[in-house]
Structure formats: structure tokens, C-alpha cells
């Protein structure tokens, strides 16, 4: 499907009837081709964790119910789901009657899995269940105060360099910003990098992250670009890259790409 047919950036009537056809898949292959990956050979494990904060439906007696959810799309899925289409889809549940929260979760699971072409995991939580937020997970070192020369706002990986020392580090920056390729709206994120290998120059890494500031791309594509650039230029033995993006329209997206199969997105942050 061509992206110009997506609801993103267009005026939309919010549905009052359940409609899984609202979901708009976007193929991952085009972006992966742009960063030099072909034929389904991706050098990572991972998933895209979406946190959905505006989920509602009707119970059999007509009284509404509300929940928040974690939606996990495997990085190996053929497609991502365009975010506004997911918002419209979730809103189409608002006037639909479900017998239980389990039926809601099963319905969302089936619809998202069908749309993206792979098994999606959906977990719904009561809004009484806390989702604790953190500023920065324990063990991660903030690089945002590193002295940086020749700051650039046009994407460039040239500043990614390593030294001779072999290390295992967990680094964090709250300064990742990119722009939606359709609407131009800013997308804000904290990025977490956990690696083993030659020590990455922190000032160069920060300069690289800041260079995304005017880049137009989806959240998932930005994280795959980060991962691919770090692997190509720094050659770590192990690498995990996660970006936790701020919430927009009741949704936040948190892609993870890793050389390790068990990597996850970690805790919710204060900007989410």
C-alpha cells in the first residue's frame, strides 16, 4: 500500500463502529533497502513495543470499560502499522460490546496480527494497575553533557568512532529527535545503547544522535538506522539499541533491535 493513502496527516472522522479495515500496514522492506538490507536478512532480534493508553469498549450491560495495553509487534513482521490508523482502529472499539477483557484482547491480537503479517502479543491492564515511570534505567550513563564540536542537524554517521579500549557499556541520551515523514511533526525519544566492544567515543555518539534532529522517518526506521550504523562503524560484539518515544495521540512506540534474542524495551519513562 502506498503511504499517501494512509490516514496520517489527513482529517478523519472518528468511527463509532468496530472496523479492523482501518488498520493501515506499511511494508518494512523499503526502509531496510535504503539502509543496505535485502531479502529478509536482518542482523537483529527485537520488537516494537507500543503502549496504548486510550482503550475502551462496552460491557454487556452497556456500561463502558477502559484499559491500557502493551502491543508487541515482532521486528520480523513484514509490515508496521501506521500510527493514526491504529488510533482510529482502537477508537472503533468504543461502542462495541464485548463479553470480557479477554475477548477484547483476543480481538485486537487477531486484527493486528492479520494486518502486520506476524503474531502480535497484546496484554491489557486495568487503569488501576500502575505502570511506574523512570527517568533513566539503573546502570545507564547519560552522555548529553559531553562536549561536542561542529554540531550538525543533518543526519550523518561520520562521527561514530571507537578507541582501543575494550568495554561493556550502557549509554543513554534523551536528545533523540526526528520528524514524522508525513506530517513533519517532531518525535521525541530517549535512546539506550548497550554494547560490548571497542569503546565508542561519547562525544561522537552524541553528535551522531543530534544529527537525527531534522531527519524524517518513522520511529522503527530510526532505531534500525541507529543499530545498522553502530554495527557498521563501531563493530561491537554485542549491541542493543532501544528508543522510547514520547506519547502522541494516546500511543507511544518503543522499538528495540539487538544482537541478543531476549532484549526488551525496559521501563516506561517519565515522558511517556
Structural domains in the chain, CATH included, are 3-125 (3.30.1130.10), 133-269 (3.30.1130.10)
241: Cβ contacts below 8 Å, ≥ 6 apart: 191, 192, 193, 223, 226, 227, 230, 256, 257, 258
The pLDDT tens digits for 159-201 are: 999 999 999 999 999 999 999 998 899 999 999 999 999 999 9
Place of cell 538506522: 225
Active site residue 180: yes
Q: What is the rounded CA–CA span in Å between residue 226 and residue 221?
A: 9
Instruction: Tell me the three cell numbers of residue 137.
Output: 534505567
Calculate mean pLDDT across residues 66-83: 96
Over residues 212-236, the mean pLDDT reads 97
Pick the catalytic residue: 111, 187, 217, 229?
A: 187
Share of the chain above pLDDT 90, in %: 86
Bridge-based pairing of strands 121-125 and 64-74 is antiparallel
Using an 8 Å Cβ cutoff, are 124 and 184 in contact? no
Confidence band, pLDDT 50/70/90 cuts, at residue 67: very high
User: What is the arithmetic mean of pLDDT over 101-105?
Assistant: 98
82 burial level (CB within 10 Å; 0-12, 13-18, 19+): buried
Cα–Cα distance, 77 to 174 (Å, whole number)? 28
Catalytic residue among 180, 222, 234, 242: 180
| DSSP sequence for 77-123 | SSEEE-HHHHHHHHHTTTT-B-S-HHHHHHHHHHHHHHHHTSPPEEE
With a threshold of 0.85, does the pTM exceed it?
A: yes
Would you state the pLDDT for residue 17? 94
Quick check: 92 and 43 in contact, CB under 8 A? no
Q: Which pLDDT value is given to residue 1?
A: 42
Q: Is the pLDDT of residue 71 over 80?
A: yes
Which pLDDT does position 4 carry in this prediction?
Answer: 55
Q: Identify the band that residue 11 occupies on the pLDDT scale cut at 50, 70 and 90.
A: low
Sequence-ordered strand ranges (E) for 113-237 = 121-125, 133-134, 141-142, 162-179, 186-200
Please tell me the predicted confidence (pLDDT) of residue 2: 54
User: Is residue 172 annotated as a catalytic residue, yes or no?
Assistant: no
pLDDT at 13 exceeding the cut of 80: no
Burial tier of 165 (Cβ tally within 10 Å: 0-12, 13-18, 19+): exposed
Q: Which pLDDT belongs to residue 234?
A: 98
Region 230-237: mean pLDDT is 98
> 205 near 241, Cβ under 8 Å?
no
Amino acid at each position: 500500500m502506498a503511504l499517501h493513502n494512509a490516514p496520517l496527516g489527513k482529517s478523519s472522522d472518528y468511527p463509532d463502529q468496530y472496523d479492523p479495515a482501518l488498520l493501515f500496514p506499511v511494508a518494512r522492506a523499503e526502509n531496510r533497502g535504503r539502509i543496505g538490507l535485502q531479502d529478509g536478512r536482518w542482523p537483529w532480534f527485537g520488537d516494537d513495543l507500543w503502549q496504548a493508553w486510550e482503550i475502551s469498549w462496552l460491557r454487556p450491560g452497556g456500561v463502558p470499560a477502559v484499559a491500557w495495553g502493551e502491543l508487541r509487534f515482532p521486528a520480523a513482521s513484514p509490515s508496521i502499522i501506521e500510527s493514526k490508523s491504529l488510533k482510529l482502529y482502537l477508537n472503533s472499539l468504543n461502542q462495541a460490546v464485548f463479553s470480557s477483557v479477554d475477548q477484547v484482547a483476543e480481538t485486537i491480537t487477531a486484527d493486528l496480527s492479520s494486518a502486520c503479517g506476524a503474531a502480535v502479543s497484546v496484554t491489557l491492564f486495568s487503569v488501576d494497575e500502575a505502570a511506574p515511570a523512570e527517568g533513566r534505567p539503573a546502570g545507564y550513563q547519560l552522555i548529553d553533557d559531553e562536549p561536542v564540536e561542529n554540531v550538525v542537524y543533518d543526519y550523518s554517521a561520520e562521527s561514530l568512532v571507537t578507541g582501543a579500549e575494550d568495554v561493556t557499556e550502557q549509554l543513554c541520551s534523551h536528545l533523540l529527535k526526528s520528524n514524522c515523514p508525513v506530517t513533519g511533526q517532531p518525535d521525541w525519544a530517549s535512546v539506550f545503547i548497550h554494547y560490548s566492544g571497542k569503546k565508542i567515543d561519547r562525544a561522537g555518539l552524541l553528535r551522531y544522535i543530534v544529527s537525527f534532529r531534522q531527519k524524517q522517518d518513522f520511529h522503527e526506521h530510526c532505531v534500525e538506522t541507529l543499530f545498522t550504523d553502530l554495527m557498521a562503524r563501531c563493530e561491537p560484539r554485542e549491541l542493543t539499541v532501544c528508543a522510547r518515544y514520547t506519547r502522541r495521540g494516546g500511543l507511544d512506540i518503543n522499538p528495540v533491535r539487538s544482537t541478543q534474542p531476549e532484549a526488551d524495551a525496559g521501563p516506561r519513562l517519565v515522558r511517556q
